[in-house]
Amino acid sequence: MQTLFLSTWFPYPPDNGSKLRVYHLLRALAQDHSVTLISFAFDTAQPEPPGDLRSLCADVQIVPVNPFTANAAGALRTFLSARPVASRPIPAMSRLVTDVLRSGAFDVIIASTEMMADYALMAPAGPIKVLEEHNSMTRWIRERYDGARKPLQRVRCWASWQKRRWYEARYYRHFNLITMVSEPDRAATVATLGDSAIPVEVIPNGVDCQHNQPGLAQPQPNTLVYNGALTYSANYDAMRWFLAEVYPRIKVQIPGVSLTITGATHGVDLAGLALDDTVRLTGFVADVRLPVAQATVCVTPIRQGGGTRLKILEAMALGTPVVATTKAAEGLEVTDGEHLLLADDPAAFAHRVLELLATPDLRQRLTANARRLVEQQYDWAAIGCRFVTLVEAAAARKNSVSQ
């Protein structure tokens, strides 16, 4: 298949969740099919050095624009817009996609996240169109509405939820296949589409089990890690809650405990976090495996958002035991007490962290079970094969109908 892959993030270096997902799906597609990659390039998502992408892809073209910044708008304009402001087409990307579509015949057009949906829909009727979505924004905004307490906040969240439902119900129907990262996200998308016959399938997030091996570093006593950039709102909320509500309870019991938070902090309101000299902010880390492997416990106190958490899968693959909220582990086939420990209120979360810090046998049992799980169910090699199979099947269905 001649495949055009449209990505919001240039997937190299593969150092965050979105780029990791795109990178491994591209690798899987490129094993048996010709792939042309078109992507935005901004921040750390840059084509130089390109790694092995240029050898994997028949062609790689970029638009050096940050679409999130380019489409930034004030709160009033965002609220009044009938569609997600961030997904408005960028003229430079529209021109590039138009030129590439004119110059080559493609069998498949893949839009990685809805931000690329408009560009995929510029293609003629011939190629199948796949939306490779990372989570259900309708579901996320519905959860924000459910959790809102103030009347004005509820009204705003309700309006955003309805606009999002309308947008997804309208735009998603133009695709031949939709993939989501978890069953809750898939179910939300199916409900939004109503009686549509468009297949919606789960392609979970994964981890490269060869690249992420236990034993890369010696864990340091009484050390915690959170491997997530605070520039992402769900990560910021997680650390704001943890530092204010959970971490003080841990420090009372273990004064020598420390916490490392990886990832970029540019533009982040650090004054809103209860930071002290036991908390280390690494900034961008080229290889996140080392701070995770060096920690005794990986904490994942996520309270919002959708999808599945690569940070949990990475820690499991590296042999670092995890304490997470139920929300953080949502969509993963994990069992509390077997693969990780779960807790949702501050006292319980602190207790489970303290339990892991104090119990080497428990850490060893959880890490052995977790490593076995990711090898069996979440290795990118197998996940990539499933994605390719689904795309090939969608192409075959389209060809059989047109003949």
So what's the pLDDT on residue 200?
A: 95
Do 2-206+380-402 and 223-377 share a fold?
A: yes
CATH class of residue range 2-206+380-402: alpha beta
Q: Residue 167 class from Cβ within 10 Å (0-12 exposed, 13-18 middle, 19+ buried)?
A: buried
Q: Where are the domains of the chain?
A: 2-206+380-402, 223-377
Q: Which residues of the chain have pLDDT under 50?
A: none
So what's the pLDDT on residue 14?
A: 80
Q: Per DSSP, what are the bridge partners of residue 289? A: none
So what's the pLDDT on residue 97?
A: 96
So what's the pLDDT on residue 306?
A: 65
So what's the pLDDT on residue 78?
A: 66
Cis peptide before 214 (omega within 30 of 0): no
- The model's pLDDT over 352-376, given as tens digits with 9 standing for 90+, comes to 999 999 999 999 999 999 999 999 9
Phi, psi of 119 (to 5 degrees): -70, -40
Neighbour count for residue 401 (Cβ, 10 Å):
7
- The model's pLDDT over 161-179, given as tens digits with 9 standing for 90+, comes to 888 888 888 889 999 999 9
Specify the pTM: 0.85
What fold, for 223-377? Rossmann fold (3.40.50)
118 within 8 A of 89, measured Cβ to Cβ? yes
So what's the pLDDT on residue 401?
A: 63
Spatial CB neighbours of 324, under 8 Å, sequence gap ≥ 6: 299, 300, 301, 302, 309, 312, 340, 341, 342
